[in-house]
Structure 1
């Protein structure tokens, strides 16, 4: 068994973080119920009965889905399931379900017992105690004549010999549903004598426990490649951990270190699997393949009386395949959301309310190509195209090389009744889509022309004049906003003392077309963060730049304002230099000096392929970052608290001089104030205790984060 090493900062900081967590996370409560943890031969589990693990943490019994999982025994629409849940958590949280595909309508019919025929766990369909005709059965091959079932302290339900508990014939950990617990495994195992495939499968929705479309599993490829993947409908992979390299999965080391997790990978005759483990076993946690298609790791916080998500894969909800269903647009801001395209309405509002949006949207008016106009008795009007700007196109478009203009491309699409959209640009040419449109994302640089019935766009031309006025107003307000920023920067630069500035170069307002050309249409990606992506570019004077493109309107605006109002008004040798910005329409871009040696994390952690740093360089980096923080805290007009100091936000120039970057979370603190109360921000593993306890913060939160980085440098 090989354990993926955690980052030093996270490992060494656990003593501090977990000490604080012990005051806020849900503690293990003793079992006060008289209910046993074992179902013995001759016993039955019925109705309101339950098994409790000896530590009181987990319970096995019958539960009912519905609003807040209420136990309304008279409601025929609510179904009953046999399952395991967290017994010490007030928010009902099931972790395993036996009869997910065969729920029971009547509580009086709910019963669990040991079969007289073969010793299996059985939910009989009537008074029949046999496992051959049952609602659910463990279907194990037991060698003992007498069996028993026990709920272990880790939430694992095991079927074992009544005389020898270590002789196990079946266990729930071998048949997970949507949740993995501490000590459980994902992969293949034959520990019980039968090769078993373990994987997580999402639920259909927030109420229906039927298996959904998303799965999380271990994948073995050609040439011995092994990776963890998230899949849609067991065919389309939309997230991967990367290959196993002997010590870790190539795309996981960073995220593992930030979530207090470790993944143990085992490859032996007993099977190939990964094991989920948490540094502190007293912390209540679970890994869940969510209804949304994201794999989430959640921790129970006693203070908020709720589960808090500390890690997701993929990071963005819109990266999940078909997350919003067909004919929808997915947007990450202000929060992950789905909306129907023009001329479409939600297919099943009830499913959307239950967090299942995979059904997507349905067309309101049939296309003329399908005979809708004749059927309606109206004039024959050809279908029209509705432009959807600033979107990310679906990846399954078909190239049409014969179309050399937008008009020709539209004609090709109109020539086929199954064509639903087209896109054309001078560089990429013509692409058309047939059938369902999936994975259209709001943040992008392309225009998708959606095919709709003529009546859907008849009102657009009538309101064109109004649109011009509105567009002019928006354009004027945007220009005013940019001008205010420029004036603010200029005025604040003029008021600084001599040592506040190094160099007199101002901040440049770029046009979007300039940056599009400079970055070759954003073709060379340097990296990505929570708020956008960074691309390499070159100005007309051959100056190499890094352009951060902020995704989303609201969150991008917030990030844009924070960065321009902080790093835009100061300069220091250890702070990344802001060359300029662009705010044109809803586009928000920031232009920085280019750092050829990338970020510090790529050199500290060899999995990222960076250069091994000698001790002289490490010392200079540590000293430079300290100088930058001292400058931000003590030498600027306002105290600037960075709030997210970590190796990823420390960039290195050609001579490995460190420069602190990414001020999107920065907080200004006037000199008349010593502390401030604000929402939690930053990265788990580098957060000072003040963030978690909810008390006021000072510049010391940056010092704490710097200490974690210093440990990693050492």
Structure 2
């Protein structure tokens, strides 16, 4: 028995120790879940668990899963910014944590981002993330602009959780997954995560730039493949799996401890072996094309690369971005193409101090000066991709000529064995890293021919040198040379006067915008280095004139000559309206024709309604405002100008959005001026397939062809899909056919954009009325279509839609099949998906 006073002392000590111990477990830093109707502001003052690292990056955790051990790597979701920390991503990241104190700072243990929401559009300080009452996770910028959402509203979401695998999950009352980040991978795979058939990893542009690179890896039914994006995509890695037609299981790739397993329709998975995990791991597809496995080293206190997962032959030089565009890789060293011992250089490094960033042509390739195209020869140089474009040329000369005759060809590779007169010719439309090879090691020879554009001075130098040699060695034809010289001088003089005449044409235009020199525009676009996009008539580059950002459209296609250029300058150079893209200036120097527009930071409308860029759906009020802006722009063109202007190419790709989602019409290269006393005009078919009105079959049109195209665009905005979408079931490929069926059966609600919860739940009747307005614009008889001023009144609530509508809308494919084969139409080529921030 303890004495009474000693027993009392022991009890007091026990109670004291228990009192001290309780807060330690209660303060455990572990809050992996969040409930509905919760809103977080991206601000260090409001998000308590914010950490800034020595490299300039920072994290602000919203939910975090503590490690099983007291210290170690753990998963969190919240706001992340890369150095120098000006903008943020909502992301899932791995941080070092202390289960009693929160996120810890270690010298080399910076946060590693493994998933991000809409990484092409980072947000600013005071941006918000909200888990709404109806179960949608919504990210908005500081000004309230919608940046991303999970599109999970109305699906019985109970809360949000970051689980032990690093998967950000929205779950329901039964704890079943409603939405998860694992289904929307960015550039990283985590242990336990799978890539399903059709999913892809896409690399970041650099270590500090989160925007998407051209490198991606995707799962197909026949295996795992890696590409660099171009037209067409260029393959640099493949891991095919055997196919078993009797099995219907979709192909998937799963990252497990010790392997990357590819489960296809074969009976056994195909495995890529990996080092067994000693600690936390993740796998990342990086901007140079490598898929690397990283592991946390407890001893070194940092992430280390433990495996280069995919292998290409013969070495690292076979990766597509190891030396950037046009770079030549030799033993791991990068250089720009330089032919033989020539002192002439046709390429320059993108960055003199970073050879791996690649090279750029000194003179961009111009399709209007194909006579000045030349091919530089590089012996024992090969290319990583020889899988897709094989030309019908088996000898060296035919291979070269096939490229010189095709402006889209940027290089050809001629691969042959012992006999160089019999080989295989491969064409490349966009040149990434090349590699020097040892023919004896690979048992084949390869010669690369890279296309360059000769400058006028280089062309003249070559011509003079040739004449000197001929004059010195063949004295017998001196007189002939003299005659040739006289004739050449006459032609040059005549051409000069023709160019002066053409220059005068431009000078006589009324209300002319600012005229820039070609050298000025080359300087303001940094030698046309940042391409925003391309379309049927040329490419668009970002530039800066003074403090103003601009979009410079360089006309390259032979389809648009002087006539079309004059049309575009004259049309929008003399008019100004808030809903028309402003033409700031132009350049017309010899064959160089460029247009300078105001810069539109949100890009073209197709990006926001087709969901190709993981964008959040536009809310209904924003869509209504965009439709009204388009209508006002067309109303001005049709009814408020001195001569009616028919745009003739209305489509989402030609509707650009400013930072506040105000819409403006762009690209007037196909426009037509119509006198007010003309009822119809006769013109060749022009426009884009799928947006053409029925009367194009007669070639007699009015401005009401724009109203038909406007109706198509309205339907695309309200339904959230393309007019012609071959990924849909056969009966739904054509939106107009689907609209006809749903209208006749009174089921228009079936084609409302399901990505948008507010359209389905709160504005269904308004959306139906908007579709009826579109159907009014789609009447086959152009006289039954409303004028654009009537459309504006309907949108502003001043009048109602016509009741007696004809639902037998014309099939767009009929217009295509009815065209005159001997008189081809001036179609605007459907542009590729892009992030274009300027007119096409």
TM-score (structure 1 length as normaliser): 0.43
Higher relative CO (CA 8 A, sep ≥ 6), structure 1 or 2? 1
**TM-score, length-normalised on structure 2?**
0.38
